[in-house]
Amino acid sequence: MIRIGNAPCSWGVEFPDDPRNPPWRTVLRDCAEAGYTGIELGPVGYMPEDAAELSDALDEEGLTLTGGVVFRPFHDPSKWQEVMDGALRTCKLLVANRARHLVLIDSISPRRAPTAGRPDEAEQMDAADWKTFRDRIATVARMGTEVYGLTVSIHAHAGGFMDFEPELERLLDEIDESFLKICLDTGHHLYAGADPLAFLRRYAARVAYLHFKDIDPGVKAEVVASRTDFYEACGQGIFCNLGKGAMDFPTLRRMLGEIGYKGWCTVEQECDPGQAASPRDDARTNRLYLQSIGFN
């Protein structure tokens, strides 16, 4: 059974302390009213870290906590404590609320941000830096799996050092699949110039979780050509309503049925919290679209 959730980033929540963030209870209410049955945690510190308080609020809205994301600078050895702090707090809150998925994302690096969407130009790590980068990801993945019993997945993200398909595949080759799965994000895969459907065909057995995004090809071409900052690109509407952009969701729905995928798919229409006209309306529009193509 495929279940559809949403995430706070669809309301522009990228960082827990952004004063533009909507109240977390508003996001829960909007999510439920738009027809979703699950929601991600968002950046740790945004929703309450008192497990009972969060559990009660989720129950009030009829929502399941699906998982959480560690969006931290795995690429920066000086920020290892920051990475581990985010990972530990996220793991504890997920377990306390019976969530399953822990998603690891290397956050945006100033060294890679200008080449988002430009795989041939992107700076590459040397052998030593790659090894320590890989080992930091593996450490958190093993902890999440073996200590907390979570399903841990790697997620490629524009502007970080885990962005383009070759580096994602290299990581998958070097870390045991028993404790590192894949969170396939359709939008970031397209942003990187790759084909998410072809990738799903190759790695179906390892894909444990999906993020649904659509991407406006016209906006993408403009932001890649101008080397636009990722968050500015979000403000310009690079992630459009599902079904309005480059992603072939009907084929994705068919493929998920063919491979027997069961579990959560989370809508993430990342936006600028100061510019989004109506995240609740977008959430509802996206849910209705998914229902129209068989995601009930």
Looking at residue 272, what is its pLDDT? 82
**CB neighbourhood size of 173 (10 A):** 8
Give the domain extent around 45: 2-292
Looking at residue 28, what is its pLDDT? 98
Looking at residue 147, what is its pLDDT? 98
Chain Cα centroid distance, residue 110: 20
pLDDT in tens, 180-200: 999 999 999 999 999 999 999
* Mean pLDDT value across residues 12-34: 96
Residue 121 has pLDDT above 70, yes or no: yes
Contact between 94 and 40 under an 8 Å Cβ cutoff? The reply is no
Looking at residue 256, what is its pLDDT? 98
In this prediction the pTM is 0.97
CA torsion, points 147, 68, 233, 32, in degrees to nearest 10? 170
Confidence of residue 275 (pLDDT cuts 50, 70, 90): low
| pLDDT > 70 in the chain, percent | 99
Residue 277 has pLDDT above 80, yes or no: no
Residue 71: which CATH number?
A: 3.20.20.150
Confidence of residue 273 (pLDDT cuts 50, 70, 90): confident
Residue 52 burial by Cβ neighbours in a 10 Å radius (0-12, 13-18, 19+): exposed
Number of independent structural domains in the chain: 1
